[in-house]
Structure 1
Amino acid sequence: MAEHVTRSRTDGRFSIERFKTFIDAVVAIAMTLLILPLMEAVSEAASDKLSTAEFFSEHSGQLLSFGLSFVLIATFWMGHHRQYREVERATTPLLWINVAWMATIVWLPVPTAMIGQMDTDMLQPVVYIGTLIATQITTLAGGAYLLRHPELGTTSPETLREGIIGDLAAIILFLIALALSIFVPPFGYAGLLILLLSGTVSRLLGRITRRRG
């Protein structure tokens, strides 16, 4: 054990299990933070003697933003799990990439609360969808780093390339959703439904990549 610790310190690599456990904890905390504004809303509704139906009606925006962000964080976490499932070692640059990824996850409850509690303006979707884009970019950076450093795990290059293509597809679709929310306001956050096309866009990018290859 002592030899393993010494070797890890000298080659700049870190325990991958502690790394994964820490990320799981951060994601769990971020998902928990999403519910806090709703808990406060329930207390306010009780003070105002609102019925259950009135609560759901008056706080529909908060409920929708909670559900959306919860699903998105869960999706990001599952993608992160797949990306690092066969990674056996972590270097300092890889850790910092993941610190940036975690920062976007921890920040997401803030724009989520804005959606549910503030009047919508042009900057609001920029903050919310921009955070999602930042999460996807850091995911892409992690995949690209692992592809350049195959010694860190046993994930095949083909699997990493497929993940990178999927990340690129998601970034493109998030940008389209952002453009729709800004330039076609009636769409609002409904533009995020375009993410349902991620599989199609990923296949298209894959074909383009294979042709160039």
Structure 2
Amino acid sequence: MAEHASRSRTDGRFPPERFKAFVDAVVAIAMTLLILPLMEAVSEAASDTLTTVEFFSEHSSQLLSFGLSFVLIATFWMGHHRQYRDVEWITTPLLWINVAWMATIVWLPVPTAMVGQMDTDLLQPVVYIGTLIATQTTTLAGGVYLLRHPELGTTTPETLRAGIIGDLAAIILFLIALALAVFVPTVGYAGTLVLLLSGVFSRLLGRITRRRG
């Protein structure tokens, strides 16, 4: 412990325990915020004496946007956990990369509420899917930084490169989903289902990278 404290004072690095705990807290709060519009909707439904069936029918878009965003935040958190599992030191630049990552996570409940409660327009999918792209981009930035600074942890370069390829694949698929939502409005947010191809696309990008290497 004394060695960790001494080293953090001399070279600007610090242990990751508080950093990881803070990230977990931010993610938990963001996931909790997703449910608040639905709680308000339940109160309004009770005031309007709606039945349970009528509630689920009238608020189906809210329920779907909640479920989608909840799963996406959980997926982002699990990816973040894997990325920083073997990180032993945090630097100021890496901290700011993660501050940006957390900002996108905290912001996601806002476009989620927009999707569930507002009429769809062309800007709405840009805001929602654009937020997902920003989250994935900051994840990519963290992976690239860790790859360039192997002294910060024990994660192998091969594992970091695989993560970076996965991030690139996800960003490309998010861009495809955004293009579908904007230029083929009937598809809507169902375009995000292309993310189911992320594993296949990651392997394809990995093969292309190895061949060029």
TM-score bin, normalised by smaller chain? over 0.9
Q: Structure 1 CA distance, aligned partners of 2:125 and 2:75? A: 20
Contact preservation (8 Å) 2:178, 2:191: yes
Partner of 1:128: 128
Q: Structure 1 CA distance, aligned partners of 2:35 and 2:122? A: 25
**Shift, 1:6, TM fit:** 3.2
Change (3 A) 1:193 1:3: closer
Q: Deviations over 1:69-108 (max 9, x none)?
A: 0000000000000000000000000000000000000000
- TM-score normalised over the length of structure 1: 0.98
Q: Percent identity of the aligned residues?
A: 87
State the one-letter code of the partner of 2:145: Y
State the one-letter code of the partner of 1:74: A
State the one-letter code of the partner of 1:15: P
Q: Structure 1 CA distance, aligned partners of 2:84 and 2:205? A: 23
Does residue 49 of structure 1 match 2:49?
yes
State the one-letter code of the partner of 1:29: I
**Shift, 1:5, TM fit:** 1.9
Partner of 2:169: 169
Q: Structure 1 CA distance, aligned partners of 2:132 and 2:87? A: 24
Contact preservation (8 Å) 2:4, 2:14: no
Q: Structure 2 CA distance, aligned partners of 1:14 and 1:112? A: 35
Q: Structure 2 CA distance, aligned partners of 1:10 and 1:97? A: 22
State the one-letter code of the partner of 2:23: I
State the one-letter code of the partner of 1:165: I
Q: Deviations over 1:144-173 (max 9, x none)?
A: 000000000000000000000000000000
Q: Structure 1 CA distance, aligned partners of 2:50 and 2:104? A: 35
Give the 3-state SS of the residue equivalent to 1:13 in structure 2.
Answer: coil
**Shift, 1:38, TM fit:** 0.2
Unaligned regions of 5+ residues in structure 1, if any?
none
Unaligned regions of 5+ residues in structure 2, if any?
none
Give the 3-state SS of the residue equivalent to 1:170 in structure 2.
Answer: helix
State the one-letter code of the partner of 1:39: M
Q: Structure 2 CA distance, aligned partners of 1:7 and 1:150? A: 17
Q: Structure 2 CA distance, aligned partners of 1:14 and 1:188? A: 44
Partner of 1:74: 74
Following superposition, which runs of at least 4 residues in structure 1 exceed 6 angstroms of deviation? none
Partner of 1:102: 102
Q: Structure 2 CA distance, aligned partners of 1:9 and 1:41? A: 50
Q: Structure 2 CA distance, aligned partners of 1:32 and 1:113? A: 13
- TM-score normalised over the length of structure 2: 0.98
Q: Structure 1 CA distance, aligned partners of 2:4 and 2:82? A: 26
**Shift, 1:28, TM fit:** 0.2
Q: Structure 2 CA distance, aligned partners of 1:3 and 1:54? A: 62
State the one-letter code of the partner of 2:77: W
Q: Deviations over 1:1-25 (max 9, x none)?
A: 4553232022111220101000000
Q: Structure 1 CA distance, aligned partners of 2:15 and 2:4? A: 10
State the one-letter code of the partner of 1:183: F
Change (3 A) 1:196 1:3: closer
Q: Structure 2 CA distance, aligned partners of 1:19 and 1:9? A: 16
Give the 3-state SS of the residue equivalent to 2:186 in structure 1.
Answer: helix
Partner of 2:34: 34
Q: Give RMSD over aligned pairs.
A: 0.8
Contact preservation (8 Å) 2:4, 2:15: no
